[in-house]
Amino acid sequence: MLSFLEGQGCDGMERATFAAGCFWAIEAVFREVDGVVSTRVGYTGGVLEDPTYEKVCTGETGHAEAVEVQYDPTRVSYEQLLLVFWENHDPTALNRQGLDVGTQYRSTIFFHTPEQEMIARSSKDRLQKSGLYKKDIVTEIMPASRFYLAEDYHQQYLKKCGLNRR
């Protein structure tokens, strides 16, 4: 069993955590990636213990809506997961994605290991230097902290609504 901070469990699976706006959409994207074993959405990066959706939406908890991804590193690499992350949101938008506005919708990579931190920083630097974006990338890279599972109705929300394949 993985602890909430460790990147690898005894079963060989690894963990990655990303915030990229509303967690419904980014969770659905990661669930489609070959090698992703499971996903769950929740709140992380803030100060309030046991946050709820209503409290996180106030913008006063410091938490971001995030997806925690458990993956098989023999089938998909952390670098490949980062590509999925970068390609599926606007990393230049500060505290917003589309119509969703607030610090809970910020772009953040929460690293679980020093290796993940190094890979994430390198990936962000390469993307910034690529010229793909005219504005600076504002994505935060910070240590993973306690991940609080979101309410059940948020889990695989788009699947429950029939809005994606799996």
| Residue 61 reports pLDDT greater than 70 | yes
Number of domains into which the chain is organized: 1
> Looking at residue 105, which CATH number applies to its domain?
3.30.1060.10
pLDDT grade, residue 10 (50/70/90)? low
Residue 2 falls within a domain, yes or no? no
Distance CA 69, CA 84 (A): 12
Query: Is the model's pTM score more than 0.85?
Result: yes
* Contact call for residues 67 and 26 (beta carbons, < 8 A): yes
The residues assigned a catalytic role are 22
For residue range 66-124, list pLDDT tens digits in order. Answer: 999 999 999 999 999 999 999 999 999 999 988 889 999 999 999 999 999 999 999 99
Domain contains 3: no
Confidence band of 157 (pLDDT split at 50, 70, 90): low
Range of the domain at 127: 14-160
User: Does residue 81 fall inside a structural domain?
Assistant: yes
Give the full edge-to-edge strand order of the sheet including 140-143. 140-143, 107-111, 14-20, 64-71, 36-44, 148-149
| Domain annotation covers residue 55 | yes
